[in-house]
Amino acid sequence: MTKILHLLLASVPFAFAHHTPLKARQISKSLLSDDSEVVAASWYPSWLGTKVPPESLSWDKYTSVTFAFALTTSDPGAVSIDSDGLVLLPKFVAQAKSHNVNALITIGGWTGSQFFSSNVATAANRTIFVKTLTQLVTKYQLDGLDFEWEYPNQSGIGCNVMSPSDSANFLLFLQELRLDPVGSKLIISAAAGITPFTGSDGKPMSDVSAFADSLDWISLMVYDVWGSWSDVVGPNAPLADSCAAANLQQGSAESAVAAWTAAKFPIDKLVLGVAAYGHSFSVSKNIAVVNSQLAPYPTFVKSPQTPGEGETADTKTTDSCGVTSGPTGVFSFEGLVTAGYLTSTGSPAFNMLSRFDNCSQTPYVYNPSTSVEISYDDAKSFAAKGSFIKEKALKGFAMWHAAGDYKDILLDSIIAAIGIVEC
Ligand SMILES: *[C@@H]1O[C@H](CO)[C@@H](O)[C@H](O)[C@H]1NC(C)=O
Ligand SMILES: *[C@@H]1O[C@H](CO)[C@@H](O)[C@H](O)[C@H]1NC(C)=O
Ligand SMILES: *[C@@H]1O[C@H](CO)[C@@H](O)[C@H](O)[C@H]1NC(C)=O
């Protein structure tokens, strides 16, 4: 049975529901290249491949899954995938193909964007980089490339090569990739921040329409809006923020879609990035709880950061810039269940306090015995995001990441709210 996911919207041509079965891969490709076709996607975290092998993914609920990551290197002639990732990648692609799902690979990411700038800086480097990526795609029989440059003309993790010409060079690179015989047939997407790519003046570009000619879609990474670096506890992935006090408006799905469309990016090529995880904060009980309820935007104890999933107070990691830091405090949705914050149905456990913020449309859970508060997403917040995607007629959703959900509680919720059916 051929799998086709489509949107239950009047604008979707009737033919989609009764698509003549073609070869599996042709179908997903022809549908995905049509602007009215929905994207139901997630990123696959290859470093969790032992815990979550490719065959365990809920393939039938996705149109595409993106393998994360291939890192940029100082040489445009090479990208870097670690040895475990190289073993996993062919298995990942085989699983995707057997489920008629598009297999993409994402280039860059927070730790892997260091050399985008130099790799696209000159015509000669762009040509080499195009060749590197088309060879990668051909070797592993991938269906597409996803570019997660965090971020053009910004230092990102802290040590990225950067130039005022980054966004312009990125566009030239994408255009060259599209002219390549291999590149012309690929799905090409990008993951971007809540404001348009930074232009040569250091400000978000006012016209990013040319990117839409080369990209199938852009996934807006509307998460990590608040976290350990913030002044107070706020929503990791707010749907809206215009309903919050002015100083608390730090970006949201609503503001991101507004910013990108104001910069002339077509709304039907925008995919909403959604978070199957949350950030934890240490909040004293007298600040967290007011009148027996969780107070909005409480201050928190900055240091030490409370440990997240799989972390202890002593956890230390050294990043690609050589900077060593402690726990991140991040929990996947599944990790919140395992750690006892949530029950197996994804609701706050009986010994927790909780609050659903009706502006950001996201939940908080607080453990009064450990003074840990978590800002995260649940079935209700994913449903709100799905309704937003449907109402705005965005292209779909992309979940960070495929191993974060628990029993597909989040995935099923957003799929139902968008109105995606399999037929
Ligand atoms: C082009 O790539 C080479 C590595 O092959 C690098 O040394 C050089 O700096 C790059 N050019 C620019 C202008 O960044
Ligand atoms: C981007 O480039 C401009 C122009 O050189 C510069 O003023 C700006 O600071 C750069 N952006 C960042 C985040 O540094
Ligand atoms: C949130 O709830 C409060 C109290 O019920 C209400 O006054 C307010 O209008 C709601 N805001 C939004 C954005 O729904």
Query: Cα angle at 265 between 264 and 270, to 5 degrees?
Result: 150
Whether residue 20 has pLDDT greater than 50: no
Q: Mean pLDDT for the chain?
A: 92
* Mean pLDDT within 272-279: 98
- Give the distance, in angstroms, between the CA of residue 119 and the centroid of all CA atoms in the same chain: 23
Whether residue 113 contacts residue 147, with contact meaning beta carbons closer than 8 Å, is answered with no
Mean pLDDT of 67-95: 97
165 ligand 1 Cβ < 6 A? no
Sorted by where each starts, the structural domains of the chain and their CATH numbers stand as 39-275+378-418 (3.20.20.80)
Query: pLDDT at position 234, please?
Result: 98
pLDDT band at 36 (very low <50, low <70, confident <90, very high): low
Question: CB of 75 within 8 A of CB of 124?
Answer: no
Q: Is 344 in the pocket of ligand 1 (CB under 6 A)?
A: no
- 67 pLDDT more than 50: yes
Residues 396-416: pLDDT tens digits?
Answer: 999 999 999 999 999 999 999
CB neighbour class for 186 (10 Å; exposed up to 12, middle 13-18, buried from 19): buried
**DSSP single-letter state for residue 81:** -
Task: Give the CA angle between residues 276, 340, 230 to the nearest 5°.
Answer: 50
Count CB-CB contacts under 10 A for residue 194. Answer: 23
**Is the beta carbon of 354 within 6 A of some atom in ligand 1?**
no
- Cα–Cα distance measured from residue 193 to residue 130, given in angstroms and rounded to the nearest whole number: 23
Residue 9 has pLDDT above 70, yes or no: no
Closest C-alpha residue for ligand 1 atom 11: 118
Q: Give residue 89's identity as a one-letter amino acid code.
A: L
Q: What is the residue with the minimal CA distance to atom 11 of ligand 2?
A: 202
What is the pLDDT averaged over residues 202-220? 98
Task: Compute the distance between CA of residue 97 and CA of residue 335 in angstroms, rounded to an integer.
Answer: 29
| pLDDT above 80 for 6 | no
Q: Is the pLDDT of residue 205 over 80?
A: yes
Pocket residue to mutate for ligand 2, from 197, 198, 203, 205, most atoms within 8 A of Cβ: 198
The ligand whose atoms approach the alpha carbon of 163 most closely is 2
Ligand 2 mean position, distance from CA 199 (Å): 8
Phi, psi of 91 (to 5 degrees): -65, -40
**Which residue owns the Cα nearest ligand 1 atom 10?**
118
Look at residue 133 and tell me whether its pLDDT is greater than 60: yes
> Which residue puts its alpha carbon closest to atom 14 of ligand 2?
154
Predicted confidence at residue 423, as pLDDT, reads: 53
pLDDT > 70: percent of the chain: 91
The token pair at 20 is 């003549």
pLDDT at 12 over 80: no
C-alpha span between 239 and 222 (Å, rounded): 8
In angstroms, the CA 374 to CA 359 distance is 17
Decide: 385 and 253 in contact? Cβ < 8 Å: yes
- Give, in order, the Cα–Cα distances in Å from 407 to each of 14, 56, 379: 32, 11, 11
Q: 125 in ligand 1 pocket by Cβ < 6 Å?
A: yes
CA of 205 from ligand 2 middle (Å) equals 12
Tokens describing residue 61: 């609920």
SS3 of residue 63 by DSSP: coil
Checking if the pLDDT of 115 tops 50, the result is yes
Measure 153 CA to ligand 3 centroid, in angstroms: 39
Protein residue with least CA distance to atom 7, ligand 2: 202
The answer to which of 34-43, 49-58, 160-169, 296-305 has the lowest mean pLDDT is 34-43
Answer yes or no: is pLDDT of 313 > 90: yes
- pLDDT interval class at 319 (50, 70, 90): very high
Position 96 scores a pLDDT of 98
Mean pLDDT of 69-87: 97
Q: How confident is the model at residue 77 (pLDDT cuts 50, 70, 90)?
A: very high
For a mutational test of ligand 1's pocket, the pick from 118, 120, 129, i.e. the residue with the most ligand atoms closer than 8 A to its C-beta, is 118
152-203 pLDDT, tens digit per residue, is 999 999 999 999 999 999 999 999 999 999 999 999 999 999 999 999 999 9
Cα–Cα distance for residue pair 18/275, rounded to 1 Å: 33
37 confidence band (pLDDT: 50, 70, 90) = confident
Residue whose CA is at the smallest distance from ligand 1 atom 3 = 75
Cα 368 to averaged position of ligand 1 atoms, centre (Å) = 53
**Top-confidence residue, 306 or 5:** 306
Ligand 1 proximity of 122 Cβ (cutoff 6 Å): yes
Is 90 exceeded by the pLDDT of residue 134? yes
| Amino acid 11: pLDDT | 34
